[in-house]
């Protein structure tokens, strides 16, 4: 059974294996398919039209399935690898071990934002940014400049305390847990972390930065924590909602999986705590 | 936007906008057009027909940076984002274009279909 661990607790060997598996997916071209899929959904999901991956109730189950696909791809390279998660409310500075050269590398240099160290620096030749929205082919970051502060534990707590999963109109204007976790309303958790990292992470092609997976693995963990906190609350809407994935509707791009199939993560993986 | 130049696209967009305002639309009013040089780059925006036939959401407002279309989207609360700044809403499409110029740091934008 896959156990997803806090990135701060990984051993040197676990970091090395995770990085090597990611680089192998990149080398074979499989990695870029994930970036392409994410960008297609983020550009197509709209508040007034069909919305599946973002700004909608299915933001959470869609990313849960997307991360499962990626994790299974990693495990096809090295069966010992699981997705780690980044608790950005705890490891909230550029000095976190997450950003060390033996893991994801650090922030970008002044001027062009180019990441200069770590296994994903352009100078390694191992990490070309192929699926992109502009001419730059190197991984970029600007940690803590697009917004100064990552969310605090108190802000996370305030969102976990929201008892309703989602509310009409089921988009970026909604009240409820999902939209506050996604960040279009309120203290802003998920969206703010993308902005804090900067570089490709702030764009539609955000999976170009491997931290995308660690960020979303923590967002996914927060969904799980919310479920335990509110055992009586559940995914909504449950039927007949235009442009929105109801509980028992299938989700694109898979078309074989429903939010109902993804509410319980324990059939796929558990967390370290 | 294959088979149609930027200039023609903007002209067509202007024509659509004129027609729409003449008949009176019930949808929320689209922002007006703009055309300026910001940090050395030309940014333009205006109501559009969404006839670009790209696979993304065909919005009714088009933005260009040095003539290349920038994918923008309007949120339910009236704020805007673009594909190069997708998690940080700003108040207007002009602000989204300016944010894109800042993010690009001089790099050329790629057309939507480049990938």
Contact B76, B91 (CB under 8 A): no
Of B56, B87, B107, the CB nearest to A136: B107
Residue A244 half-sphere exposure, CB side, CA atoms within 13 Å? 23
Lowest mean pLDDT among A114-118, A185-189, A218-222, B3-7: B3-7
A173 touching B, CB under 8 A? Answer: yes
Q: Which residues contact A77 (CB under 8 A, 6 or more apart)?
A: A20, A21, A24, A25
C-beta neighbour count of A38 within 10 angstroms: 22
pLDDT tier for residue B10 given thresholds of 50, 70 and 90: very low
Partner A, chain B 55-74, Cβ-Cβ below 8 Å: 55-57, 59, 71, 73-74
User: pLDDT for B13-67, tens place per residue?
Assistant: 443 333 333 333 344 567 999 999 999 999 999 998 644 444 445 478 999 999 9
Is the pLDDT at A102 greater than 80? The verdict is yes
Q: Report the residue from B83, B87, B103 with minimal CB separation from A43.
A: B83
Q: How confident is the model at residue B111 (pLDDT cuts 50, 70, 90)?
A: confident
What's the helix, strand, coil split of chain B in %, to 5? 30, 30, 45
3-state DSSP call for residue A234? coil
Mean pLDDT of all residues belonging to chain A: 98
pLDDT per residue as tens digits for the range A244-257:
999 999 999 999 99
Write down the residue that tokens 């949808």 correspond to.
B27
Is A177 in CB contact (< 8 Å) with chain B? no
List, in order, residues 6 or more apart from A20 with CB less than 8 Å away: A77, A78
Q: Looking at the complex, does the CB of residue B103 fall below 8 Å from at least one CB of chain A?
A: yes
Answer whether residue B7 shows pLDDT above 60.
Answer: no
pLDDT for res B54: 43
Residue A22: name the closest of A30, A10, A13 by CA. A30
Contact A172, B77 (CB under 8 A): yes
ipTM: 0.95
| Residue A153 to residue A96: CA distance in whole angstroms | 16
pLDDT tier at A243, thresholds 50, 70, 90: very high
Query: In sequence order, which residues have a C-beta less than 8 Å from that of residue A79 and are 6 or more positions away?
Result: none
**Which of B64, B86, B96, B99 has the most A C-beta neighbours within 10 Å, making it the best mutation to test the interface with A?**
B86
Half-sphere exposure (CA, 13 Å, Cβ side) for A212? 25
What percent of chain A is modeled with pLDDT above 90?
Answer: 100
Q: What is the pLDDT of residue B23?
A: 37
Rounded Cα distance, A197 and A147, in Å: 9
Phi, psi of A23 (to 5 degrees): -65, -35
Contact status, residue A202 vs residue A183, Cβ threshold 8 Å = no
The pLDDT tens digits for B67-95 are 999 999 999 999 999 999 999 999 999 99
Q: What is the pLDDT of residues A65-95, one digit of tens each?
A: 999 999 999 999 999 999 999 999 999 999 9
Q: Kindly list the residues from chain B whose CB atom is less than 8 angstroms away from the CB atom of residue A44.
A: 55-57
pLDDT, position A12 = 98
- Angstrom distance (rounded) from CA B93 to CA B65: 12
| Cβ–Cβ gap B110/A49 under 8 Å | no
Q: Look at residue B112 in the predicted model and tell me its pLDDT.
A: 76
User: Distance, in angstroms, between B14 CA and closest chain A CA?
Assistant: 23
Residue pair A204/A130 in contact (Cβ under 8 Å)? The answer is no
Specify the pLDDT at position A53: 98
């Amino acid at each position: 059974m896959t156990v997803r661990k806090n990135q701060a607790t990984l051993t040197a060997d676990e970091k090395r294996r995770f990085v090597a598996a990611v680089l192998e997916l990149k080398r074979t071209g499989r990695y870029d398919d994930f970036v392409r899929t994410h960008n297609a959904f983020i550009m197509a999901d709209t508040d007034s039209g069909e919305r599946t991956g973002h700004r909608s109730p299915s933001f959470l189950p869609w990313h849960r399935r997307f991360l499962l696909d990626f994790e299974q791809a990693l495990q096809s390279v090295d069966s010992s690898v699981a997705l780690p998660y980044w608790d950005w409310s705890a490891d909230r500075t550029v000095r976190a071990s997450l950003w060390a050269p033996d893991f994801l590398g650090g922030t970008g240099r002044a001027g062009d934002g180019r990441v200069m160290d770590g296994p994903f620096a352009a100078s390694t030749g191992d990490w070309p940014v192929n699926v992109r929205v502009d001419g730059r082919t190197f991984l970029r970051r600007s940690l803590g400049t697009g917004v100064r502060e990552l969310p605090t534990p108190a802000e996370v707590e305030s969102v976990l305390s929201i008892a309703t999963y989602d509310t009409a109109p089921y988009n970026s204007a909604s009240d409820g847990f999902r939209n506050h976790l996604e960040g279009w309303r309120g203290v802003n958790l998920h969206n703010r972390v993308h902005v804090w990292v900067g570089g490709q992470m702030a764009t539609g092609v955000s999976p170009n930065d491997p931290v995308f997976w660690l960020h979303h693995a923590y967002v996914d963990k927060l969904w799980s924590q919310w479920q335990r906190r509110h055992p009586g609350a559940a995914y909504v809407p449950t039927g007949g909602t235009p442009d929105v994935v109801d509980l028992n509707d299938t989700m694109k791009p898979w078309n074989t999986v429903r939010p109902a199939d993804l509410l319980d993560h324990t059939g796929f993986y558990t967390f370290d705590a | 936007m294959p088979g149609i130049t930027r200039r023609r696209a903007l002209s067509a967009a202007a024509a659509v906008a004129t027609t729409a305002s003449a008949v009176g639309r019930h949808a929320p009013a689209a922002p007006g057009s703009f055309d300026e040089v910001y940090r050395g780059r030309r940014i333009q925006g205006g109501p559009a027909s969404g006839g670009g036939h790209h696979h993304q959401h065909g919005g009714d407002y088009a933005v260009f940076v040095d003539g290349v279309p920038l994918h923008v989207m309007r949120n339910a609360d009236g704020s805007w984002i673009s594909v190069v700044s997708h998690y940080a809403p700003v108040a207007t499409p002009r602000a989204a274009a300016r944010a894109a110029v800042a993010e690009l740091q001089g790099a050329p934008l790629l057309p939507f279909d480049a990938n």
